[in-house]
Amino acid sequence: MRGGHDSYRDACRTSVRRHDPERYLACLFAPAARRDALFALLAANHEIAKTAEVVSEPMIGQIRLQWWRETIDGVEAGTPRDHEVAVPLAAAVSGGWLSLARLRAIVDAREADLDGEPPATLDDLEAYAETTAGGLHAAMAETLGADPEAAGEAGVGWGLIGLMRALPVLVAAGRAPLPVDLLEAAGLSHQIIKDRPQAKALAAAVRPVVERGRARLARAHSLGGFRDAAFRPLRLLADRAGDHAAALQRAGYEPFRASAPVTAGIAWRHLARMLGYRLGL
């Protein structure tokens, strides 16, 4: 294969470090034997998730997503495309580290990004987060030998809170992540937000989403698998989602007024938390 497995593996790791740094840092605390599978999964997720950002029209996005469906077919059949993500994915599958069912569902869910339509209700947004971030974290749990139910719950929390944290970037890119019912109740629309983002109070629409995310994090905490040793890298992400929710709360649930997330020192915070987990804290 052109490039060889090692270069493809390194490419996945580099992609995750650059584009998904919080999950990357959490994966560094996973057992070494499982990291390549995690990085392949996360690199594939990034390539799928960015579809709406890199295409000029929905039809091209549909073609790109179909390419990924066919790529997953090839990986499952043991005949992966000579591609820097497909080859490591195939190695993870053949090694018994990864099942691709959740990644398939993520491809299907990402079709919603292409039409530009906002979710009608908070329940609709939550369902989207269940398949995307929730499904991704559950797949990570399967790779780690951890509880996918707890991971899925925490992943939904991560996804909902992350969407609110990323609201300024998403709105600037023409995305519409806030549910219509919450916006209408607040007398807002995505167009109003895009035209004058700093002048509009968004807390009435943002806070319910953050609170729903916190509820899913709490549900994850209540499940037995959350405290298992194998779950610790995902527990780091759950606790980090709680950090982001607290930052939004401090900003009055106004994402345009919230401070940008600080990435420096996260590894040390993860290390401190890991020590706390081992001490039963």
Q: Could you read off the pLDDT of 146-185 as tens digits, one per residue?
A: 999 999 999 999 999 999 999 998 988 888 899 999 999 9
The mean pLDDT of 176-197, rounded to a whole number, is 88
Confidence class for position 4, pLDDT limits 50, 70, 90: low
Asked if 173 and 222 touch (Cβ cutoff 8 Å), the reply is no
- What b/e sequence results for 185-198 when a residue is b if at least 16 CB atoms lie within 10 Å of its CB, and e otherwise? ebebbbeebeeebe
Alpha-carbon gap, residue 245 to 160, rounded angstroms? 10
Q: Which long-range contacts (CB under 8 A, 24 or more apart) does 51-58 make?
A: 51/110, 51/113, 51/114, 52/110, 52/113, 52/114, 52/175, 53/173, 55/114, 58/114, 58/115
Confidence class for position 69, pLDDT limits 50, 70, 90: very high
Alpha-carbon gap, residue 201 to 216, rounded angstroms? 25
pLDDT at residue 2, as a whole number = 45
What's this model's pTM, rounded to 2 decimal places?
A: 0.94
If you average pLDDT over every residue of the chain, what do you get?
Answer: 93
Q: Decide if pLDDT at 139 tops 50.
A: yes
Q: Decide if pLDDT at 264 tops 70.
A: no
Confidence class for position 7, pLDDT limits 50, 70, 90: very high
The mean pLDDT of 116-144, rounded to a whole number, is 96
pLDDT at residue 174, as a whole number = 83
Q: With the CA atoms of 269, 234, 222 and 219 taken in that order, what torsion angle do they form, in degrees rounded to the nearest 10?
A: 100
Least confident piece of the model among 48-52, 126-130, 228-232, 259-263: 259-263
Count CA atoms within 13 Å of residue 115 on its CB side.
Answer: 8
Q: Which two tokens stand for residue 27?
A: 């994966």
Asked if 152 and 130 touch (Cβ cutoff 8 Å), the reply is yes
The mean pLDDT of 35-51, rounded to a whole number, is 97
